[in-house]
Copies of this chain bind each other. A is one copy, B any other.
Amino acid sequence: MKKIHYTDVEELKVEDYGSTSTTIRWLITKEKDGATNFALRRFEVQPGGEIGMHNHPQEHEIYILSGEIEVITETESFTAKTNDVLYVPPEEVHGYKNNGSKTVSFLCVVPYL
């Protein structure tokens, strides 16, 4: 059993896909913890920040911890709020934008494929 606080994990800038004002913490990983099936990450997106549109073979399971964020796909755009849950299927193009005045934090689980 391992216990950490999320702030024990290094906060890294997310710069892929033209992302701005966004950080990631890899809370549980294969390399660090021997978790061979999936990784648990925690994102923070500052007001005005965004994660650019992208896609990949892995699905995402997401839980919004705090704040409100615009979720964008090729066919729709909607707001996700605290305690909302998202499922992003494999290969679906997706991005996020914080149009509000508060930092958004969310968990995102991704499989090791």
Tally of A interface residues using CB under 8 Å: 39
Determine how many copies of this chain the complex contains.
2
Asked whether, in the complex, the Cβ of A86 is within 8 Å of the Cβ of B2, the reply is yes
- Which B residue sits closest to A32, measured CB to CB? B87
Asked whether, in the complex, the Cβ of B84 is within 8 Å of the Cβ of A5, the reply is yes
| Binding site secondary structure of chain A | strand
> Could you mark each residue 1-36 of chain A with 1 if its beta carbon is under 8 Å from any beta carbon of chain B, else 0?
111111100000000000000000001100001111
Chain B residues near A6: list those with CB within 8 A. 63, 83-85
User: Residues of A at under 8 Å CB distance from B?
Assistant: 1-7, 27-28, 33-38, 40, 42, 59, 61, 63, 65, 71, 73, 76, 78, 80, 83-89, 92, 94, 107, 109, 111, 113
